[in-house]
Structure 1
Amino acid sequence: MKALRHTAYGEHPVVEEIPEPAPGPGEVLVRVAGAALNPLDVKIGAGHVRDHFPIIFPSVVGTDLAGTVARIGPGVTGWNPGDQVIARTDPISGGAVAEYAAVPVPNLAAAPAAVPLHLAAALATAAATAWQAVVEVAELRAGQTVLVHGGAGGVGGFAVQLARQAGARVITTVSPAGAGIATKLGASQVIDYTTADFRAEAGHADVVIDPIGGDTEAASLDVLRPGGLLVSLNTPPDLGRAADRGVRAEFVFHRTDAGRLAKVAAAGLEIVTDRTVPLARAAEAFRHLAGGHAKGKVIVRP
């Protein structure tokens, strides 16, 4: 089968012919219909997160996939060949950007019937991370105001939708190219971060969802009401700095959870795609994502 593989840290991955994996105990073999690339894939390949996600080379890129169960391994119950699924593999194992992937059963959920199967791969990390931030950590509710940074991005776009579903008023920061996307997804106020200081435009928010970090995290504290919450998705926030401002801060470290993935699949979220490319052009798609300007998800179709 064909797969996109890293051969060393810092090297661009290439599409190669490799043996098809066999499902082990507690695993199913999925015929991949689509794989979604994430910024984490770029960080893993560059070696930036090797302390948390050390990989053994050669390593097949990607964690997020959707497809059809082709075979089941020993001891597997509840899944059968022909079932359509979404899944997130362990980041250390990777394996998504390929024609077939072996996936542990706890990492699977039924794919949503209303979404084209190849696009459903986009839900596995980005939407599930947004769910964790908006629903589980922030516990957003009707009448609250939330500032979502990067509302046209992978995680940000899903966070905007989930916040609107909760009944919150949504403010978001985007580039000019992302303004229309964020508005369509439900943002009430869109701020162009290339020309405006969001601190002057956003007013006061109950919650900030921050997938960016750095200076954005520090500046975000200025828009929070006393007792408000900063939810950081990139790096652990400065808890002391938040406490000095009279607000709270929490870090979301996303881990696969089949129950959460099933809820995300049932949430009726719109999937915004930057581009969909064939597996033969997966290396090109990876370089595009690494450039940092994708609007929505980058999907690879075997």
Structure 2
Amino acid sequence: MKAAQLTRYAKDYKLELRNVDMPRPNHSQVLVKVKEAAVNPLDSLIGTGSLRLIQNFKLPQTMGNELTGEIVEVGKDVKNFSVNDKVYMRLPISDIGAFAEYVAVDADAVALLPSTLDFKTGAAAALTGLTAYQALHEILKAHSGQTLFIPGGSGSFGQMAIPLAKQMGLSVIVSGGSEARKRTLNIGANRYLDYKTENYWEQLSDVDLVIDTLGQAELTHELSILKRGGQLLSLRMGPNGSFAEAQQMPFWKKFLFKVNGQKMDHLAKKYGVTYHFIFVRSDGRQLQQLSALIDQNIIVPAVDSTTFTLEQVNEAQAYLQNGHPKGKVLIHFN
């Protein structure tokens, strides 16, 4: 079968299309014929070697983190899936490989495709959905009555996080471009700030929770609007010592991440709040819960109209970085 593989870490890395052996599922896995694979910023972080301290792959490594597909074979111990089931997933970080014609994956990472989504829109839902779920439930431990602000939350992450936060009883404030105001309010945001005309740090205060999607340049502004005892979780700024502790990393990695996160932790302490970083894991059970939320709220993730094939995987990654896509960039498999 064909697969797009990383053969060396580099700032200007390119994936190579190779013929590799068809994977065989073990007793706890399913074999999935890939229909759509999503391209994510995470792929670039892996390819450039930026995440080697978190996960260092033995090269060559088939790339790709999330996909939709159809089950074609089921391991003998798998009871909750059948051949021909339509599924979606975020692959385990130690066993990625969505940029391939077939994937063998542990059944615990897989969920049935929501009834309101097709292969394309489903491929845009798994990673962002799990990010929102794990951020709100596991790390922030959000609860009813709290206020959540998502700067830059008008995109694909907000599309999943807003209805989930509303289901949990949170009041949600989002900033973004004017063109996204209506759709963001329609999916449940309580308030929307146009970043071109309104500085959120001049408008907001005493916020309980912030989920950062923008990165280091916004750190001070985001911290300034939190109440004392509040929490900031970043998808972009990088790990710290508490992240390494939670991941039960060896001592030397805990030390390195503590050093890496000193700026964030120091500023957070100055404002009397806590800084978190998230690295999303696969979880089919959580995805199944998200499927119910997606169907109930008729959430249809945005997908960019430009179509790429596996042979065009490098063009797809460049398009994600530089092409200003209007939704998730997908690799289509015939």
User: Same fold per TM (> 0.5)?
Assistant: yes
Measure, in 2, the Cα distance between the counterparts of 1:298 and 1:180: 23
How has the CA–CA distance of structure 1 residues 40 and 3 changed in structure 2, closer, same or farther, with 3 Å as cutoff? same
How has the CA–CA distance of structure 1 residues 285 and 180 changed in structure 2, closer, same or farther, with 3 Å as cutoff? farther
Task: Give ranges in structure 1 of 5+ residues lacking alignment.
Answer: none
Establish whether residue 113 from structure 1 lines up as the match of residue 127 from structure 2: no
DSSP-derived class of the 1:191 partner: strand
Q: Which residue of 2 aligns with 1:291?
A: 322
Residue 266 of structure 1 deviates from its aligned partner by 1.7
Specify which of 48, 59, 74 is matched with residue 57 of structure 1: 59
Q: Which residue of 1 aligns with 2:220?
A: 218
* Residues paired across the two proteins, number: 302
DSSP-derived class of the 2:130 partner: helix
Q: Which residue of 1 aligns with 2:292?
A: 266
Measure, in 2, the Cα distance between the counterparts of 1:175 and 1:2: 40
Measure, in 1, the Cα distance between the counterparts of 2:42 and 2:72: 27
How has the CA–CA distance of structure 1 residues 118 and 232 changed in structure 2, closer, same or farther, with 3 Å as cutoff? same
Residue 142 of structure 1 deviates from its aligned partner by 4.5
Please identify, of 249-258 and 219-228, the stretch whose mean Cα deviation from structure 2 is larger.
Answer: 249-258
Contact 1:157 1:296 in 2 (8 A): no
Please identify, of 172-181 and 57-66, the stretch whose mean Cα deviation from structure 2 is larger.
Answer: 172-181
- The one-letter amino acid of 2:328's match is K
- The one-letter amino acid of 1:272's match is A
Specify which of 136, 148, 155 is matched with residue 153 of structure 1: 155
Question: What RMSD in Å do the two structures reach over aligned CA positions?
Answer: 2.6
Q: Which residue of 1 aligns with 2:283?
A: 257
TM-score (norm 1): 0.87
Residue 195 of structure 1 deviates from its aligned partner by 5.6
DSSP-derived class of the 2:123 partner: helix
Measure, in 2, the Cα distance between the counterparts of 1:119 and 1:151: 19
Q: Which residue of 1 aligns with 2:138?
A: 136
Contact 2:120 2:303 in 1 (8 A): no
Residue 247 of structure 1 deviates from its aligned partner by 2.4
Deviations 1:230-264 (A, max 9, x none): 12233236334323322233332321222212211
- Aligned 1:1-302 pairs, distance under 5 A: 1-10=1-10, 11-175=13-177, 178-179=180-181, 181-193=183-195, 196-234=198-236, 235-236=238-239, 238-268=264-294, 269-275=299-305, 277-279=307-309, 280-291=311-322, 293-302=324-333
- The one-letter amino acid of 1:296's match is G
Please identify, of 221-230 and 187-196, the stretch whose mean Cα deviation from structure 2 is larger.
Answer: 187-196
State the identity %: 33
Say which structure is richer in helix. Answer: 2
Q: Which residue of 1 aligns with 2:248?
A: none
Measure, in 2, the Cα distance between the counterparts of 1:53 and 1:276: 31
Measure, in 2, the Cα distance between the counterparts of 1:272 and 1:212: 19
Please identify, of 127-136 and 291-300, the stretch whose mean Cα deviation from structure 2 is larger.
Answer: 291-300
How has the CA–CA distance of structure 1 residues 294 and 163 changed in structure 2, closer, same or farther, with 3 Å as cutoff? farther
Residue 178 of structure 1 deviates from its aligned partner by 4.6
DSSP-derived class of the 1:125 partner: helix
- The one-letter amino acid of 1:261's match is L
How has the CA–CA distance of structure 1 residues 289 and 139 changed in structure 2, closer, same or farther, with 3 Å as cutoff? same
DSSP-derived class of the 2:153 partner: coil
Residue 209 of structure 1 deviates from its aligned partner by 0.8
TM-score (norm 2): 0.80
Contact 1:171 1:202 in 2 (8 A): no
Contact 2:308 2:316 in 1 (8 A): no
How has the CA–CA distance of structure 1 residues 140 and 117 changed in structure 2, closer, same or farther, with 3 Å as cutoff? same
Say which structure is richer in strand. Answer: 1
Task: Give ranges in structure 2 of 5+ residues lacking alignment.
Answer: 241-263
Measure, in 1, the Cα distance between the counterparts of 2:108 and 2:135: 21
Measure, in 1, the Cα distance between the counterparts of 2:308 and 2:267: 46
DSSP-derived class of the 2:231 partner: strand
